[in-house]
């Protein structure tokens, strides 16, 4: 019988034949032991697509397939003060913008009773008389068919929560920094009082602060050019390539919707010109040309954002066009696309968010995960949050931790994906508007959201 040569011995013999020197002996290493190498990342590429202002119930109330939606909700009737049960009614994806500040969140949350949504008002700041049952709605499923198709083919998370229910400024910062910490006891909240939201704001611009005692200090925060660490710091330290695709920076909207404009270390470095990329449709060129970064944030044009009050229904097609471009490319087997909505937009959701600390958790928003290794038609019920996206990237590339909400957040890698299965063949997502439509259309040059 032939003797079997142990794999480690065989590798050492091969190394010797190639003229390699044996590894130096150190603490915890046996003589001649090969040096340890980092585990290979499960994904070579991660794309985070950030849409606007929807709750899980607003998009998936009637989806079914084991997901936790609802067709009715509890509401304090603003005219009588009595709690009533109201049906969720079907509306257009266009609709009207309603309030979504931290103060409105507190009213709607109502100490966990989830019945204060009738007191919301029109516009992002929620001014004017209460809107009553308007917040209790779901979008016509035919208008968001691409999202439902993605859910049926891939993964939909129905217990995914925004970090802090506040405005879009905070939501976008949470998605690059896993929080907005000014100290262990304070964080940013709501919006700066001038635009754009960042280092390019007028010199007299201030922010607002939320303390760990849930005390709002409106207008008492610093100029919005921040020094806290972001995922960019961890990516750069491990030489993991990244880009932030945003609307054209030639416009006010581009600066408003580049979250890194509020990060001093990026705004005043060469990365502002190399890593902050506009227009956002440049991602199609990177997919075609084989230059897709390892990690990407992808912002929509105003018209494609799903934001209530936009003039078109193009948001679902915009997302589908990117998914299809990746699916038909060499990147399909190495990429995961995460589609998330930046805040709840004031709309009703019936699931009480679990309390973590003064930074959340906020209300549920949808999360879709598209990959060749995603479980088919899987509805994930475990609790995740914005910090889970950053935790996922940290674990994927062994980046370490920001020690913000990413440290408490769960990684969804072993829940969403099955790496024992063969990579799935890509099936294109049908959509009303094509990739060519988005590449050849003139940008709107409007802010995706200004609240």
How would you write the pLDDT of the chain (451 residues) with one tens digit per residue? 333 334 333 333 333 333 333 333 232 322 233 333 456 789 999 999 999 999 999 999 999 999 999 999 999 999 999 999 999 999 999 999 999 999 999 999 999 999 999 999 998 888 889 999 999 999 999 999 999 999 999 999 999 999 999 989 999 999 999 999 999 999 999 999 988 899 999 999 999 999 999 999 999 999 999 999 999 999 999 999 999 999 886 655 555 568 999 999 999 999 999 999 999 999 999 999 999 999 999 999 999 999 999 999 999 999 999 999 999 999 999 999 999 999 999 999 999 999 999 989 999 999 999 999 999 999 999 999 999 999 999 999 999 999 999 999 999 999 999 999 899 999 999 999 999 999 999 988 887 766 6
* Beta strand extents in 186-315 (DSSP E only): 186-189, 207-211, 216-221, 242-245, 276-277, 295-298
3-state secondary structure of 8: helix
Tokens 């032991």 belong to residue = 33
pTM of the model: 0.90
Nearest to 394 by CA among 372, 409, 376, 377: 409
CA dist 145 → 60, 140, 233, 348 (Å)? 11, 9, 37, 21
Strand pairing class (378-380; 155-157)? parallel
User: In sequence order, which residues have a C-beta less than 8 Å from that of residue 265 and are 6 or more positions away?
Assistant: 227, 232, 233
Nearest to 64 by CA among 156, 154, 136: 156
What's the residue count for the chain? 451
3-state secondary structure of 14: helix
What's phi and psi for 256, nearest 5 deg?
Answer: -60, -35
Nearest to 409 by CA among 436, 437, 430, 390: 390
Tokens 């509890």 belong to residue = 74
Task: Classify each residue of 259-270 as buried b or exposed e, where b means 16 or more C-beta atoms within 10 Å of its C-beta.
Answer: bbbbbebbbeee
Tokens 């959701």 belong to residue = 349
Report DSSP letters for 42-106, one per residue.
S-SEEEEEEE-S--HHHHHTT--TT----SEEEEE-TTT--EEEEE-EEE-SS---B--SHHHHH
* Separation of alpha carbons 193 and 207, rounded Å: 6
- The sign one gets for the Cα dihedral 411, 415, 416, 419 is positive
- Which option is the CATH number for 45-61+141-165+226-440: 3.40.720.10, 3.40.1360.10, 3.30.1490.20, 3.40.50.300? 3.40.720.10
Q: What is the predicted pLDDT for the residue at 255?
A: 56
Q: Can you give the residue ranges of every domain in the chain?
A: 45-61+141-165+226-440, 72-135
| Contact of 379 with 65, CB cutoff 8 Å | yes
Q: What is the predicted pLDDT for the residue at 127?
A: 87
3-state secondary structure of 299: coil
CA angle 415, 167, 314 (to 5 degrees): 70
Task: Classify each residue of 360-394 as buried b or exposed e, where b means 16 or more C-beta atoms within 10 Å of its C-beta.
Answer: bbbbbbbbbbbbbbbbeebbbeebbbbbbbbbbbb
* Separation of alpha carbons 172 and 268, rounded Å: 19
Q: What would the two tokens of residue 395 be?
A: 């674990």
In the Cβ-directed half-sphere of 29, how many Cα atoms lie within 13 Å? Answer: 12
């Amino acid at each position: 019988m032939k003797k079997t040569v142990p794999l480690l011995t065989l590798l050492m013999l091969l190394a010797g034949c190639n003229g390699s020197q044996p590894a130096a002996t150190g603490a915890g290493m046996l003589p001649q032991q090969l040096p340890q190498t980092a585990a290979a990342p499960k994904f070579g590429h991660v794309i985070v697509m950030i849409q606007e202002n929807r709750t899980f119930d607003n998009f998936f109330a009637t989806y079914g397939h084991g997901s936790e939606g609802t067709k009715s909700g509890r509401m304090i009737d603003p005219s009588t003060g009595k709690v009533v049960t109201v049906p969720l009614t079907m509306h257009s994806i266009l609709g009207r913008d309603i309030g979504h500040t931290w103060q409105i969140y507190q009213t709607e949350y109502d100490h966990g009773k989830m019945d204060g949504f009738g007191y919301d008002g029109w516009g992002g700041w929620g001014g004017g008389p209460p809107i009553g049952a308007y917040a209790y709605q779901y979008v016509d499923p035919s208008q968001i068919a691409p999202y439902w198709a993605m859910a049926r083919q891939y993964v939909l998370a129905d217990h995914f929560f925004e970090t802090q229910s506040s405005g879009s400024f905070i939501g976008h910062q949470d998605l690059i920094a896993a929080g907005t910490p000014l100290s262990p006891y304070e964080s940013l909240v709501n919006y700066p009082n001038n635009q754009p939201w960042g280092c390019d704001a007028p010199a007299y611009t201030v922010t607002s602060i939320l303390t760990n005692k849930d005390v709002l200090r409106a207008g008492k925060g610093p100029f919005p050019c921040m020094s806290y660490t972001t995922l960019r710091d961890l990516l750069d330290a491990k030489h993991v390539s990244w880009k932030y695709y945003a609307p054209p920076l030639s416009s006010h909207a581009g600066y408003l919707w580049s979250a890194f404009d509020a990060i001093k270390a990026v705004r005043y470095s060469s990365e502002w010109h190399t890593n902050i990329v506009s227009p956002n449709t440049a991602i199609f060129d990177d997919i075609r040309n084989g230059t897709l970064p390892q990690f990407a944030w992808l912002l929509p044009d105003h018209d494609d954002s799903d934001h209530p009050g936009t003039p078109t229904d193009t948001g679902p097609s915009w997302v589908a066009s990117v998914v299809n471009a990746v699916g038909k490319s060499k990147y399909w087997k190495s990429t995961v696309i995460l589609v998330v909505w930046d805040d709840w937009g004031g709309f009703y959701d019936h699931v009480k968010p679990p309390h973590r600390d003064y930074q959340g958790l906020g209300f549920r928003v949808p999360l879709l995960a598209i990959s060749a290794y995603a479980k088919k038609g899987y509805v994930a019920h475990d609790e995740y949050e914005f910090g889970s996206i950053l935790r996922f990237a940290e674990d994927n590339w062994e980046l370490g931790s920001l020690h913000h909400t990413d440290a408490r957040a769960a990684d969804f890698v072993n829940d969403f994906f099955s790496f024992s299965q063969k990579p799935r063949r890509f099936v294109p997502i049908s959509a009303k508007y094509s990739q060519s439509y988005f590449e050849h259309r003139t940008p709107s040059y409007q802010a995706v959201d200004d609240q």
